[in-house]
Chain A
Amino acid sequence: MPFDFSFVRADLSGRDCLPIELSEVGVAKGGRALIDDLNLSIGSGRRTVLMGPNGAGKSLTLRLLQGAIAPDKGVVTAGGRPLDASNRKRIGLVLQRPILLRRSVRANLDHALRAQRVAASARRDQIEELLTLAGLEHRADAPARGLSGGEQQRLSIVRALAAEPDVLLLDEPTASLDPHATQSIERLIDQTTEAGVKVVLVTHDCGQARRLADEVLFLHQGRLAEHTPAATFFKNPVSEPARAYLAGRLVL
């Protein structure tokens, strides 16, 4: 499809563009360790899928990767430097429940672009590109909060792309969506990776993980249980928790 991705930096291959690393990271709440001694690196592979049972710390890990939450222990680095305002800008995060502004679809994108200090004249073109990418041209002037669940999720994904991130983190973008809406989100994820943006995705949907993943990170009880190429993970998982999870018999 003839999408114009000129607004996304063209020199990115999506490979090792911005490696993000967690080293010995711990997060505790109320004396309970939610994440404990977590070491992982994101970077190789175009698409990384984060899997694990409920409470494994997947959403928390995504927030740590973007700096939305600071760890109690350990360090998070992006591109070899600890997370700060400048390298955080290169990492987008889409929350599971999109928080859209009480404005039109177009105004939501305009707001995101203004936050990136994009000049008014350039904003107009970029809004059109993002609308096309999301397949929301016909809904441009509709109130964002009146969109369907799938449309809201697509809007929040392209809103995050407005910042031209190198890495886009998605927290269960298709949870509670029907198959058709799920398909449209997966297509958008494909287009995003084709444009050179690395995608890290949390999902519970094994079918989706099979379709999208280049590599899988499997979290269990706040630790990394397994980090393998997708083919290996689904055929022959190394760790016991991952084997149990895929067989549907994981005990928390």
Chain B
Amino acid sequence: MQDFTQAFGEAFSLVAAGDAELFGIVSLSLRVTLTALVIACLIGLPLGAVLAATRFPGRRGLSVLASALMGLPPVVVGLLVYMMLSSAGPLGPLQLLYTPTAMIIAQAVLVTPIVVALTQQVIETLHAEYDEQLRIMGLSKLETLSTLLWEARFSLVTVALAGFGRAVAEVGAVMIVGGNIAHATRVMTTAIALETSKGELALALALGLILLAISLAVNAAAMTLRRSAHAAAAVA
């Protein structure tokens, strides 16, 4: 109990002092996760919409695959990306292993199926409502997809949040492909794991608190945005 209180006290003073190392770890975490999320959305949003609103051979197989990959364990993703990027792997010459880029790739692989599957669900519901109207208006397939994606924008914020939450919290994938190298590839989750194993509970706890605070802030911001935009568009 003594340890606990002391650790909390030290954690808060680290945060309050704006510890440089702490700051570096947090900013790398955010950079990796947000970049991975942007990539996942660039791929996942259109793909999810295509799966929801078009018919082509193999569509069902793809959507089953996306749903199945949603539950992929991060360590498995880490392993696969590791094998791709290691010097013996097909992407070995790029020398990406143990760099932030490798971590971005791993998290993007992890999050894309989530964005695809959830986007598909959201767009399917909207498509049922809009399909006849959009066909009457004579929209092309591409126009239909972009209209549906924009109409779904409020729900898609939640989809992106789900992806963010998954990526920012995972430790297995970034650990394997990033290597948890200080000042290079150490992010919040890998740092927490390391400091805890060393018994450095203060730093681990400080990072845990920041991770929690970031999650809360991102969700609160998204919810506020969603609510005000919702009200502005008077979505029934």
Residues of A within 8 A of B (CB): 66, 68, 85, 88-89, 92-93, 95, 99, 101-104, 111-112, 115, 142-143, 145-146, 163
Contact = CB atoms under 8 A, between A and B. Distances in A.
Contacts of A146: 234
B143 interface: yes
Interface string B139-170: 10001000100110010000000000000000
Given A68-B136, A112-B137, A163-B137, A101 B236 contact: no
B233 A115 contact: no
Given A115-B143, A145-B234, A145-B236, A99 B138 contact: no
A72 to B, nearest CB: 18
Contact of A66 (B136, B233, B234): B136
Given A89-B138, A99-B133, 11 more contacts: A88-B138, A92-B136, A95-B133, A95-B136, A99-B132, A101-B151, A102-B151, A103-B150, A104-B233, A115-B137, A145-B235
Interface of B: 129-130, 132-133, 135-139, 143, 147, 150-151, 154, 232-236
A221 B130 CA distance: 29
A92 B135 CA distance: 11
B79 to A, nearest CB: 42
A130 B132 CA distance: 23
**Interface residue SS majority, chain B:** helix
A68 B136 CA distance: 6
The CB with the most chain B CB atoms within 10 A, among A88, A102, A142, A143, is that of: A102
A102 B147 CA distance: 10
Nearest to B132: A68
Nearest to A91: B136
A66 B133 CA distance: 12
Contacts of A102: 151, 154, 233, 235
B227 to A, nearest CB: 14
A163 B233 contact: no
14 contacts: A66-B136, A93-B136, A95-B133, A95-B136, A99-B130, A99-B133, A102-B154, A102-B233, A112-B137, A115-B137, A115-B138, A142-B234, A163-B137, A163-B138
B66 to A, nearest CB: 25
B94 to A, nearest CB: 41
A-B pairs with lowest CB-CB distance, top 4: A146-B234, A143-B234, A99-B133, A102-B233
The CB with the most chain B CB atoms within 10 A, among A89, A103, A104, is that of: A103
Given A102-B151, A111-B147, A68 B135 contact: yes
A132 to B, nearest CB: 22
A104 B136 CA distance: 20
